[in-house]
Amino acid sequence: MRRTAKTVILSLCFTLILTACSNSPTGRSQLLLFSGDQMANLGQRSFEEMKQTQPISEDKAVTAYVQCVTEAILKVVPPQSDFSEWEVVVFDSEQVNAFALPGGKVGVYTGLLDVAETPDQLAAVIGHEIGHVLSEHSNERLSRSQLAALGLTITGMSLSDSPHAAMAMAGLGLGVQVGILLPYNRAQESESDKIGLQLMHQAGFNPSASVDLWRNMAKASDGAPPELLSTHPSPDTRIKALETGITRLPDIPHRMATGCQRPSKS
């Protein structure tokens, strides 16, 4: 009975992998088990919950500034099939962070502006986060998590009679996290850096500011985990990749200025 169930589950896994394979905007192979509509709905619900539970900045000048930079980036982003509009919210928090969710939701924490010191540096962050959405990274991560959980279930069935089952499952759990999920997260981050660099360049921002941004990030991230066990590339790795990417960007004649002005600090 157990062997039959395991065979059925393995067949389902194989079918899922065959039918859910896709390629990211940079050509990287992906596994996407969920539809765009499902991910958009999930992102929109999550964003609404965040707006209810986290303080939103009441500083109109800061909000207008962040929206200006974001809207400049969005002008070069193609229309999305799963949602019609993007929404930008500035959260009042000291976190040095920003995010973009499926469904066109962009959140920026005011603490980021202490590190992203110029419109160009902020554009590097916004472009990067939008790159996650364009590459369906949330779908990919959720799909891999689901597949990993199913794999652990199958392994648990096969080890259920072993006296070392608990130890083996604990080891496999660590192996799944480090061996499958984290490396793909680092690949996603690097991919979003490439896409973000292209977006900010096309939108009229200075792509070299992305290097300045990550130098600022490096100064602000003392005590960060080592790259091997981190979901992000190290700042040095990131900077080297960005410097290489900048040299490969095409020339854009008659570049238009974005006109976004950082508000003065009160």
In the chain the beta strands, taken as DSSP E runs, fall at 21-23, 29-31, 87-91, 98-101, 105-109
Residue 214 structure tokens: 């990550």
E strand or H helix that includes residue 254: none
Residue 32 structure tokens: 């996407």
Annotation marks residue 129 as catalytic: yes
CB 183 within 8 Å of CB 230: no
Q: Among residues 87, 129, 140, 191, which one is catalytic? A: 129
- Token pair 């303080």 in the structure block, residue: 55
Residue 116 structure tokens: 């992203």
E strand or H helix that includes residue 57: none
For strands 105-109 and 87-91, give the pairing.
parallel
* Residues with Cβ within 8 Å of residue 66, at least 6 apart in sequence: 88, 90, 108, 122
Active site residues per annotation: 129
